[in-house]
Structure 1
Amino acid sequence: MPRRSSRPAPASPEAPAAAPKRRASARLSVSQGEVKRVKSNADLSGVKSTTKKSKYFEPESSAEPEDSESGGDSGSAYEDQDQEEDQELSDHQSEPEGPSESEEESRAAKGKQGKQTRNATSDADALKGKELWREGVRTGLGPGKEVFIPKPKARDAGDVAYEDETLHPNTKLFLQDLAENNEREWLKAHDPDYRAAKKDFELFVETLTPKIAGVDGTVPELPVKDLVFRIHRDIRFSKNPLPYKIHFSAAWSRTGKKGPYAAYYVHFQPGACFVGCGLWHPEAEPLALLRADIDENASRWKEVLRAPAMRREFLNGAPDDDDAVVKAFTHRNKESALKTKPKGYEADNANILLLRLRSFTIGRPISDKEMLAPDAQDRIAALVGVMEPFLRAAITPLLQPLGPSREGEIAQLLTAPSLS
């Protein structure tokens, strides 16, 4: 860096001559002669000073400052710098103390938190009543916001306690809600209600099993999983897309809910509860055995149907007559009956009404009040006692060993072009 020259700059013809630099002793004498500024004790809290622009951001000028015409002590650039520093110090001391950075940050944080709380409250009010579990529901929230759905809880039991031998009213309410919202998303959102209802029905079936076994000794005490049907529907080959059944059900037979034997059946559905027994759409071989037994032992079937309790409970009070009870029984199973005779039998057969059947069932409806009553199991056990002779008549052909003649007859029926 070149050394600064100590010679004074040549005077410009247009500008007045610059004052010669004074020595340090002269500057000291001048500064001592000036009157010192006294800090005022006046309250300047209401006064707001104007912030000065820093000299470091001003463009540099090659010309030196001019002296005033009066020849006052303007001083050099160094004196100007000292005066500016004194002025800034004075201004700083006279300004009222403002909030510190930490206080400003805390206020900003509180304001932000309050704004978020207000936004959350308004968002919660906007989402109130909306079914957020359902696909396609618009929340109306902007990006970066989240929706918190509270964890579902099971419906309160109320004044009625859960008991093993009685169905709880909440189980009925769950099935009613499921009928209105038969969707997977809904069931996931109401999983506690489903589990409570499922457990309630399973305990009811578990405690009912010994009573049914006491009436019909052929029914073993199987675990609940072998008696209760699952609520999920198989929709792979069905036109009905609903994923769930809207009822609970269970079946008791020699092999539980599955197997070739006739079974007792309990169906719990709000407004459509019923109890029944029999064989529904049996396979080809059991169906052939049943038809062969009806053709040979029709009198035994008619005797079972003419029993007073059977006619009163399951045949709508039909008169004590063979044709009347057969007509009432076939009318209940007409949905799956053949329009004409089955293969291997004549159309003028005396028992053609029974032979055309493809399901052999009896049942009667039960009101919701009866199903939820404390004595519901006793009522079901009493109906099982009425159905037991019919179920035994339907099971007997499946248990008897086949003789040579009957074996050939059944084989001929099974090899027919159309069994049904």
Structure 2
Amino acid sequence: MNETIPRETFTFLKDLEKNNNRDWFNDNKGFFKEIEKEVKQVYNQLFEMINTHDEVDKVKLFRIYRDVRFSKNKLPYKTHFGGSFHRTKPRLRGGYYLHIQPNNESFIATGFWEPNKEDLMRIRKEFEQDDDEIREIINNKQFKSVWGELIGDEVKTAPRGFDKTHKAIDLIKKKQFIFTKKFTDKEVLLPNFLNDVDKAFKSIKPYFNYMSDVLTTDLNGVSLI
């Protein structure tokens, strides 16, 4: 039987949003710990589900405490749960993310959030050389019905060393390569929520296979690992 997100999760997070201070949180810490334990079980089950069709070596549930040292927002607590799932590197690249937040703000995400400069250059050079294969994957009708459009931060015109009139400049100028899928509160609380999430994650495989191949070979297709 699948674990489910407890309804009390949304109740707690909504109350926390209204009372985002240490006194209130400390008074309700016991309730938080109970919810956190159940939420962890959900993330751990999703970890096991993903591993039936991919190789994920760890799951990380992020702390609810915000790092306010360098932020203008000094509220001490996050008003959501977030957790990531790391594919086994270096052979496999990319990752998965599950975000639980009330008021229909929950979503899943997958792809490449912060590629290092070497990986980013390798991806851009691949798109510069040939963008047919990636477009075939991300424009596939069934794929788009689940994930929609490729999103992510990008430079304004073109990265240094690339032609701003190149036919693949829309891909080349990206700094992130992400797909997201939103869920309503009602959908999150349904018994089949984890199945729906896992099914969506499973459908990203062609994209991950392609990007992993790019990032583990040079421009001539020679393995780097």
Q: Is the 8 A contact 1:182 1:242 kept in 2?
A: yes
Aligned match of 1:280: 113
Among 343, 346, 351, the alignment partner of 2:168 is 351
Q: How far apart, CA to CA, are the structure 2 residues paired with 1:379 and 1:352?
A: 34
Aligned match of 1:124: none
Q: How far apart, CA to CA, are the structure 1 residues paired with 2:88 and 2:14?
A: 31
Q: More deviation in 352-361 or 230-239?
A: 230-239
Structure 1 residues 386 and 170, CA, compared in 2 at 3 Å: closer, same or farther?
same
Q: How far apart, CA to CA, are the structure 2 residues paired with 1:276 and 1:309?
A: 17
Among 26, 29, 44, the alignment partner of 1:188 is 26
Structure 1 residues 392 and 244, CA, compared in 2 at 3 Å: closer, same or farther?
farther
Deviation at 1:246, TM superposition (A): 1.0
Q: How far apart, CA to CA, are the structure 2 residues paired with 1:176 and 1:255?
A: 35
Q: How far apart, CA to CA, are the structure 2 residues paired with 1:346 and 1:183?
A: 50
Among 46, 49, 56, the alignment partner of 1:208 is 46
Q: After superposition, where does 1:380-399 map in structure 2 within 5 Å?
A: 380-399=197-216
Gaps of 5+ in 2: none
Q: Is the 8 A contact 1:301 1:393 kept in 2?
A: yes
Structure 1 residues 214 and 356, CA, compared in 2 at 3 Å: closer, same or farther?
same
Regions of 4+ moved over 4 Å: none
- TM-score relative to the length of structure 1: 0.49
Q: How far apart, CA to CA, are the structure 1 residues paired with 2:85 and 2:129?
A: 28
Aligned match of 1:248: 81
Deviation at 1:269, TM superposition (A): 0.4
1:14-61 Cα offsets, whole Å, 9 max, x none, are xxxxxxxxxxxxxxxxxxxxxxxxxxxxxxxxxxxxxxxxxxxxxxxx
Q: Is the 8 A contact 2:93 2:208 kept in 1?
A: no
Tell me how many residue pairs correspond in the alignment: 220
Question: Secondary structure at the residue paired with 1:343?
Answer: coil
Deviation at 1:304, TM superposition (A): 0.8
Aligned match of 2:131: 298
Structure 1 residues 173 and 382, CA, compared in 2 at 3 Å: closer, same or farther?
same
Question: Secondary structure at the residue paired with 1:236?
Answer: coil
Q: Which has the higher contact order (CA 8 A, sep 6+)?
A: 2
Q: How far apart, CA to CA, are the structure 1 residues paired with 2:31 and 2:208?
A: 36
Deviation at 1:296, TM superposition (A): 2.4
1:93-138 Cα offsets, whole Å, 9 max, x none, are xxxxxxxxxxxxxxxxxxxxxxxxxxxxxxxxxxxxxxxxxxxxxx
Q: How far apart, CA to CA, are the structure 2 residues paired with 1:215 and 1:371?
A: 22
Q: More deviation in 270-279 or 387-396?
A: 387-396
Q: Is the 8 A contact 2:9 2:35 kept in 1?
A: yes
Q: How far apart, CA to CA, are the structure 2 residues paired with 1:283 and 1:181?
A: 38
Question: Secondary structure at the residue paired with 2:61?
Answer: coil
> Matched residues, percent identical?
28
Q: After superposition, where does 1:45-194 map in structure 2 within 5 Å?
A: 165-194=3-32
Structure 1 residues 345 and 392, CA, compared in 2 at 3 Å: closer, same or farther?
same
Deviation at 1:255, TM superposition (A): 5.2
Q: How far apart, CA to CA, are the structure 1 residues paired with 2:203 and 2:87?
A: 18
Gaps of 5+ in 1: 1-162, 316-327, 408-420
Q: How far apart, CA to CA, are the structure 2 residues paired with 1:165 and 1:363?
A: 22
Aligned match of 1:219: 56
Q: How far apart, CA to CA, are the structure 2 residues paired with 1:249 and 1:370?
A: 17
Q: Is the 8 A contact 2:81 2:100 kept in 1?
A: yes
Deviation at 1:306, TM superposition (A): 1.9
Question: Secondary structure at the residue paired with 1:185?
Answer: helix
1:337-392 Cα offsets, whole Å, 9 max, x none, are 11111011111111001111111000110111111111111111110121122223
Deviation at 1:395, TM superposition (A): 2.7
Question: Secondary structure at the residue paired with 2:157?
Answer: coil
- TM-score relative to the length of structure 2: 0.89
Q: Is the 8 A contact 2:5 2:42 kept in 1?
A: yes
Q: How far apart, CA to CA, are the structure 2 residues paired with 1:286 and 1:237?
A: 27
Q: How far apart, CA to CA, are the structure 1 residues paired with 2:63 and 2:212?
A: 25
Q: Is the 8 A contact 2:2 2:191 kept in 1?
A: no
Deviation at 1:261, TM superposition (A): 3.8
Q: Is the 8 A contact 1:164 1:200 kept in 2?
A: no
Task: Give 1 or 2: higher strand fraction.
Answer: 2
Largest Rg, 1 or 2? 1
Q: How far apart, CA to CA, are the structure 1 residues paired with 2:188 and 2:134?
A: 30
Question: Secondary structure at the residue paired with 1:214?
Answer: coil
